[in-house]
Structure 1
Amino acid sequence: MDNNRNVFIAIALSLGILLAWQYFVAGPQIEAQRQQQQAAQQLAESGTQAPSAGSGAQVPPAPGVAPQAPGAAPQAPPAEGLAAAPAAGAQASGEAAPRLAIDTPALTGSINLRGGRIDELFLKRYHETPDPESPLIELFQPVGGATPYYADFGWVTAQGGPAVPGADTVWQTTESETLAPGSPVELFWDNGAGLIFKRTIAVDENYMFTVTQSVANSTGEPVTLYPYGVIIRYGQPQTTGFYILHEGPIGVFGEEGLMEVDYSDLDDEQVTPPKVADGWLGITDKYWAAALIPGGDTPFQGRFLRGDSGALPTYQADFLGEAVSVPVGGVASNETLLFAGAKVSQLLNDYESRYGIDRLNLLIDWGWFYFLTKPMFQVIDFLFRFLGNFGLAILAVTVLVKIVFFPLANKSYASMSKMKKLQPQIQKLQERYKDDKPAMQKEMMELYKREKINPLAGCWPILIQIPVFFALYKVLFVTIEMRHAPFFGWIKDLSAPDPTNLFTLFGLVPWDAPAILHLGIWPIIMGVTMFVQMRMNPQPPDKTQQMIFNWMPVIFTFMLATFPAGLVIYWAWNNFLSALQQGLIMRKHGVKIELWDNLKGMIGGKKSKTPAE
């Protein structure tokens, strides 16, 4: 097998993988985003409202008893000296309920004192588009909005037990307060039968809430309660729907490890992980997540389930803790952590070590090839701290990859240069044995052996790019650090395709071109660099191979037009460095670079001359 055929096989393999990627990931991803935008617009126009408070959540039942519906507890008058807090913070749908504001460097929102739940959160550091004036990302939304999403906490008890606070309980606070780092808020509720419930909510400067629940018992007999935490989401969000990224219920459960549950998995029955003493559970999106981390180093029972609330399905992740005994005249407490925010890798790592949370970083879907993806991100993130631009970091990583594989690529290009010198002899063998393929292959292998050439060496420069390519694609696709990360000029988001388009004359023509006719500047640059690199080799003798080689840069140019701009920039820069390296090695071995001759031959439909000709 000659060198051209080896290169052809390597490129064909790469093309096949990229076509599959385009068909199963890139194209559907764009379509999913378009459908999501249309759905959001239709929902806004219809003014759809969610059902009343508490109707979608299912409180975990205590062991051996029937589930207790939220809101079943009777309401007691305010305790002496306490008053319900006045409204503080925006109410998404005009729901008449008192609120406490949340204001941190990373979050803004409010706590609904009806139910005492955290149900309104906006992420200050992230906007819907690269435009800093665009709306903030809304993570949690109160009941009454289009798609409610919130976290709630509480206690359950055996059937016939004392009244406990529920979804309709209006909690009280000593004064109007704002939850901020270093300034927790305290909520109180008296069940009127000897139990006073207290809920203290604290938050750090980022996305970690600490919810401490306590119960004071003056009933005259011990009371047994079970703590719980729940995250509930109304409606199924638009997801990418591909194996490359998990979105939906998720958790880590001790030795059982990571559990990823698709929304569709809950259509028929709930998913019940094993009972463990170490772990967490919640719901994740592409860039954001909400996760409950039960405290106390005691076993808890997790659960994922689907429900229905009017026209919207509800999806729930909850846990039920071990029994807590409240002695007569005593106080018992329970602590739960709530992560609600952006999945920043370093921040998740910090939370893991600070709170001893098991594998919280797995909220980021590093994929099956995490041993490549995660180091790739870490190197890019490290370089970003020095260069101040993720685009420059990608260019620097490309150079590092080139350095790592330099000996292998150098040997490969040297072998290709030697084979180029042998083209006249190879063509003579092809003409001599054109009717006897086995004999021709035997003679060619003998020729390679005499000249100490590895005919497969030409595949390596292309094959070694594939794992790097996919690792970088995964990093650009799943890490929030790359979201809306600018490069220079017109590239405002390295994780999105190049926004320019040749078919609108780069914005001069007011035409909404279809997706298939989107071709930005960077994909064109990539195509040119790929064309130059391929033209540095002589045209293959086979007509079919010639046609494929001639059209390969064009095909790749249109394919990569819908890929993240950061990936296209990497490919273009890699092509340039490869062409430069190959040119230097060819000159070292005295091989003529027939770029111009090959170009003329391609245009004229003639094969370029070999060195002997």
Structure 2
Amino acid sequence: MGDNKNFVLFAALSLAILLGYQYFYAGPKMEAARQEVEEARTSAATEEALAPREVAPEDDTTAEVVENEPVLEEAGSVRIETPELSGSLALRGARFDDLLLTKHKVSKAKGAQNVRLLSPVGAPGAYFVRYGWSASGQNPDAVPNASSIWSADSDTLAPGKPVTLSWNNGEGLEFRMKIEVDKEFMFTITQSVLNSTDATLQIAPYGLISRRGEPDTAGLYILHEGPIGVFNGTLEEKSYSDLEDDGNFEVSSTGGWMGITDKYWMTTLIPAQEAELSRARFVRRATGGDVSYRVDYVENWQTLPAGGTLESSSHFYAGAKIVGTIDHYQEKFGIALFDRTIDWGWFYWLTRPIFKGLHMLFNFTGNYGVAILLMTVILKLALFPLANKSYVSMSHMKKAQPKIKKLQERYKDDRQKLQQEMMALYKKEKINPMAGCLPILVQIPIFFALYKVLYVTIEMRHQPFVGWIQDLSAPDPLTPITLFGALDWNPPAFLAIGVLPILMGISMWLQQKLNPQSAAMDPTQQKIMSFLPLIFTFIMAPFSAGLVLYWTWNNTLSIGQQWVIMRREDARQAAKEKTKA
């Protein structure tokens, strides 16, 4: 049992270190980064130039995209109206640069604004998407650029109501861009160019996402935020700091996708999956205190004969990272690994089934808090055989404590002999010293997988449970130190401990009391074990209420399960001894 307790202590302290990383290190780091970003935004005065135009390629199969997005006056726009999105498409540059998510608020506060995804050039944190053509050996004015003013055949883009933009260079080249949008977050872009000249041209379609400023991120190792893409079937993730430290990322690919992801939102370019991309890039540019990021791709050069037409189709996703929606698009368009836009983590094989189970239970109950409770019960039933063995072994251990103590006193000067006698006793009393470790080994990945689900999936965002818990993805807001909200002040972070974390600590303490104390454990180990419930109460306080709800409910079920099994085993052993007598 001593080895068992040592393992439990090691597992608990390891977990405390991992969870404490967010509270004691990542939290302050995130706040410092946020302040630095705000200072940079305040001091920034102008928008960095970001628009492709013609530059001589390095060889016959690659084209370079150079950016130059000047701030120019308005030239009209096309309204974007869908059940999920609201905004506009600027006719100057054919730029998607104004997009709100109509069903998502920045907070649960009354009167909170809708989440803004895209912002126009010149606005703080400018963020936009643009498509176009790069021409080889042509005057830059031969192809449309960021300053070009397009005309539109309609003033509103909506599901079932596409809009076609057109631009003519006045020298025999006519460019068109048909734009469609569905009821969720997917845009379809069909570009075409008609060559009415008597010359053969080399041109290549491109797409780009430009984002100004250093976005606020959580700064946690468990969540990727920043440029992401799949190239030749391989997932590539680069954080903003990666681009700063390691430089820009560049690759050629067949199909794939690329974009910029936040915790709950993303913009993603999706070229035709059979398209040959001569270059796809993640780019960071810094000018003084101003920083910008760009994700772009250019397809291989294509030959446009005199009197001929070329066409290029692609998609881009702009919106919330809803699991079902992303899965639907992955299957519909055959987009490889598109579901990895959501950071499921190392335990993908476990995290996805847990989410699906929770979502199914939510559809049945209408409450994610209740779904968490039911999921915990299901997991407990699945792990019952392991728990039963563990608690039966604990019952035998509890009964054998006097014999273990005698052996320790008898062989206190001969550790090797003590171990031999202990093993013999374990065998005789049917004690498995590792039985208590099995449930822990299984529950640790389940815990982290559930943590992932609660932390990264938008389905949990702003979801209420009961009473004061109105957002399962946020920490428990009801803290006794403020007399449950009666005192109007913000306590220090380490004192802001909600009711749920306190209940979790109590449940851990009660669970400890049910476990037999090993005679092999020294006083120092016993003291450390006794303080673990208090330590975990502080560590878990800033975590999502849904995760703490799971742990508290799991502990409560374990207490009941352990009490019933150990009581039953004690009664069985007593009956057995009575029969013997």
TM-score (norm 1): 0.86
Structure 2 residue matching 1:590: 3-state secondary structure: helix
Residues 111-165 of structure 1, C-alpha deviations (whole Å, 9 max, x = no match): 1111011011111121111236311111111111111111111011113356111
Amino acid at match of 1:284: T
Aligned CA distance change for structure 1 residues 360 and 153 (closer, same or farther; 3 Å) = same
Q: Which position in structure 2 is the counterpart of 1:171? A: 150
Is it true that 1:260 corresponds to 2:240 in the alignment?
Answer: no
Using the alignment, how far apart are the partners of 1:368 and 1:135 within structure 2?
35
Aligned CA distance change for structure 1 residues 6 and 547 (closer, same or farther; 3 Å) = same
Structure 2 residue matching 1:474: 3-state secondary structure: helix
Structure 2 residue matching 1:422: 3-state secondary structure: helix
Q: Which runs of 5+ in 2 are unaligned?
A: 573-581
**Deviation of 1:171 (Å):** 0.9
Q: Which position in structure 1 is the counterpart of 2:393? A: 415
Is it true that 1:352 corresponds to 2:346 in the alignment?
Answer: no
Using the alignment, how far apart are the partners of 1:304 and 1:131 within structure 2?
36
**Deviation of 1:452 (Å):** 2.1
| Kept after mapping to 2: 8 A contact 1:50/1:146 | no
Aligned CA distance change for structure 1 residues 572 and 490 (closer, same or farther; 3 Å) = same
Structure 1 residue matching 2:436: 3-state secondary structure: helix
| Kept after mapping to 1: 8 A contact 2:96/2:128 | yes
**Which among 425, 429, 436 is matched to residue 458 of structure 1?**
436
Is it true that 1:227 corresponds to 2:205 in the alignment?
Answer: yes
Q: Which position in structure 2 is the counterpart of 1:9? A: 6
Using the alignment, how far apart are the partners of 1:311 and 1:15 within structure 2?
44
Q: Which position in structure 1 is the counterpart of 2:50? A: 56
Amino acid at match of 1:108: S
Q: Which runs of 5+ in 1 are unaligned?
A: 74-92, 593-613
**Deviation of 1:105 (Å):** 0.6
Q: Which position in structure 2 is the counterpart of 1:314? A: 292
Q: Which position in structure 1 is the counterpart of 2:21? A: 24
Aligned CA distance change for structure 1 residues 38 and 261 (closer, same or farther; 3 Å) = closer
Q: Which position in structure 2 is the counterpart of 1:281? A: 258
| Kept after mapping to 1: 8 A contact 2:54/2:138 | no
**Deviation of 1:370 (Å):** 1.0
| Kept after mapping to 2: 8 A contact 1:71/1:165 | no
Alpha carbon RMSD of aligned pairs, Å? 2.5
Amino acid at match of 1:246: H
Q: Which position in structure 2 is the counterpart of 1:123? A: 101
Q: How many residue pairs get matched?
A: 564
Is it true that 1:511 corresponds to 2:506 in the alignment?
Answer: no
Aligned CA distance change for structure 1 residues 72 and 287 (closer, same or farther; 3 Å) = closer
Using the alignment, how far apart are the partners of 1:276 and 1:68 within structure 2?
16
Residues 410-458 of structure 1, C-alpha deviations (whole Å, 9 max, x = no match): 0110111011111121222222223333222221211111122212212
**Which among 354, 378, 394 is matched to residue 372 of structure 2?**
394
| Kept after mapping to 1: 8 A contact 2:54/2:135 | no
Using the alignment, how far apart are the partners of 2:153 and 2:419 within structure 1?
90
Q: Which position in structure 2 is the counterpart of 1:77? A: none
**Which among 65, 69, 92 is matched to residue 114 of structure 1?**
92
**Deviation of 1:37 (Å):** 6.0
Residues 142-194 of structure 1, C-alpha deviations (whole Å, 9 max, x = no match): 1111111111110111133561110011111245x111111111111110101
Structure 1 residue matching 2:151: 3-state secondary structure: coil
Aligned CA distance change for structure 1 residues 345 and 154 (closer, same or farther; 3 Å) = same
Using the alignment, how far apart are the partners of 1:358 and 1:101 within structure 2?
31
Where does 1:35-184 land on structure 2 (aligned, <5 Å)? 35=32, 38=35, 46=42, 51-52=46-47, 55-58=49-52, 61=55, 63-64=57-58, 95-131=73-109, 133-161=111-139, 163-175=142-154, 177-184=155-162
**Which among 478, 503, 509 is matched to residue 500 of structure 1?**
478
Aligned CA distance change for structure 1 residues 277 and 461 (closer, same or farther; 3 Å) = closer
Percent of residue pairs bearing the same amino acid type: 46
Aligned CA distance change for structure 1 residues 460 and 67 (closer, same or farther; 3 Å) = closer
**Deviation of 1:356 (Å):** 1.5
| Kept after mapping to 2: 8 A contact 1:272/1:302 | yes
Q: Which position in structure 2 is the counterpart of 1:426? A: 404
Residues 530-578 of structure 1, C-alpha deviations (whole Å, 9 max, x = no match): 1111111344443223312322211111111122111111111111111
| Kept after mapping to 1: 8 A contact 2:40/2:289 | no
| Kept after mapping to 2: 8 A contact 1:51/1:310 | no
Structure 2 residue matching 1:453: 3-state secondary structure: coil
**Which among 263, 268, 276 is matched to residue 291 of structure 1?**
268
Where does 1:432-443 land on structure 2 (aligned, <5 Å)? 432-443=410-421
